[in-house]
Amino acid sequence: MDLNLTRLRYFATVARLGNFRRAAEILHVAQPALSRHVQLLEEDMGVELFARTARGVTLTEAGKVLMEGSENLVRQSTVLRDEVRARTSVPRGTVRIGALPSIAQKLVPGAIAQVRARYPEIRFTLTHGYTEDLRESLLADKLDITLLTEFTRHQDLLAQTLYREDVWLVSVPARRRRRLLKPSDLAGVPLMVPQFLRMELERQLPAADLNIVVELEASVPMVELVATGVVSYFGPPLAMWDEISAGRLAGVPVQGFSLTRALARHKNRPPTTATLILAETLVHFATRGGFSNGLPFVHPA
């Protein structure tokens, strides 16, 4: 049995949308032609892939099995096509980037601008997320490269350490500023804390001393809330640096807390030329390109 990539792509689109009409519009093909392609795929497989209903279609058990593998096959064929083109002409194709929100705002734009200036046929998709979500998306081949926190390494990933970022306590400016805080200095302080840092904070400070008012599921803090003086933010200060440097907020490092940032990609999926170009540019920006200039909380790893 020969798998027809066009039919697999059509099948996957119908499966995602659950509707032949909408899939035909997305694919820019006539609906009867799309239905015929799916019918031929079902005949070739010898099974029904969709259960038809009044509202659309749903995958059968056989369809679910095919769906698990078809998107990866289509993705790999696209990567191969882009790589062949890149080797014979200028680099092109789409690079799927995943990054922590603060890094996506501060580090990624300069790298993309530089790549586009040299290689205008490279395009990008950018996803924000937590480290665990980004890692899972990378393993599932939903991303090409990720910028995340290097908590633990994974056997299927290649990670390159970029820099170390201190964790600060950020609050409204105080008359007396200290240069360094101990974990015990946070006792009783009303805090806004990213979820991924709460466990680490609890390891160094008794639960009875913690006063976590806001726990963030996203890693971008609510600057406006900190500015009211209701809470202080405990976390990486990059997303708040504009407010700190302008004097509207003040930040102090907390002893014993820092985060290592890394660039990661899948070990078993050869990167396209476009992916390698962006990765090299991101590394340059993070380590030698001036990203850390004026940022007292970013240090060489």
Tell me, yes or no, whether 139 and 60 share the same domain. no
Cα dist from 109 to 3, 21, 118, 139, whole Å: 39, 37, 15, 24
- The two structure tokens encoding residue 270: 């050869």
As a whole number, mean pLDDT of residues 20-33 equals 87
Q: How far is CA 253 from CA 168, 184, 233, in A?
A: 4, 13, 11
Q: What is the CATH number of the domain that holds 172?
A: 3.40.190.10
CATH code of 59's domain: 1.10.10.10
Supply the range of the domain harboring residue 15.
5-85
Whether 159 and 265 share a structural domain: yes
Q: Are residues 183 and 231 in the same domain?
A: yes
> Is residue 219 within 8 Å of residue 235, measured between CB atoms?
yes
pLDDT > 60? residue 86: no
Whether residue 19 contacts residue 31, with contact meaning beta carbons closer than 8 Å, is answered with no
Q: Mark whether 154 and 182 lie in a shared domain.
A: no
56 and 38 co-located in one domain: yes
Same domain, 157 and 272: yes
Cα–Cα distance between 128 and 146 in angstroms, integer? 10
pLDDT of 177 = 67
Higher pLDDT, 220 or 117: 117
* pLDDT of the residue at 219: 62
Name which residue leads in pLDDT, 231 or 73.
Answer: 231
Q: Work out the pLDDT band at 176, boundaries 50, 70, 90.
A: low
Q: Which pair of tokens denotes residue 252?
A: 């102090």
Q: Which of 18, 53, 85 is the last residue of a domain?
A: 85
Given this model, what pLDDT does residue 4 score? 76
The shares of helix, strand and coil residues in the chain, as percent rounded to the nearest 5, are 45, 25, 30
Q: Are residues 54 and 203 in the same domain?
A: no
Query: How many domains would you assign to the chain?
Result: 3
Residues 26 and 98 in one domain: no
Q: What is the pTM of this model?
A: 0.68
Same domain, yes or no: 250 and 268? no
> For residue 69, what pLDDT is reported?
77
Question: Are residues 216 and 171 both part of a single domain?
Answer: yes
| Confidence tier at 84 by pLDDT (50, 70, 90) | low
Cβ neighbours of residue 94 closer than 8 Å, sequence gap 6 or more: 82, 122, 123, 124, 125, 274
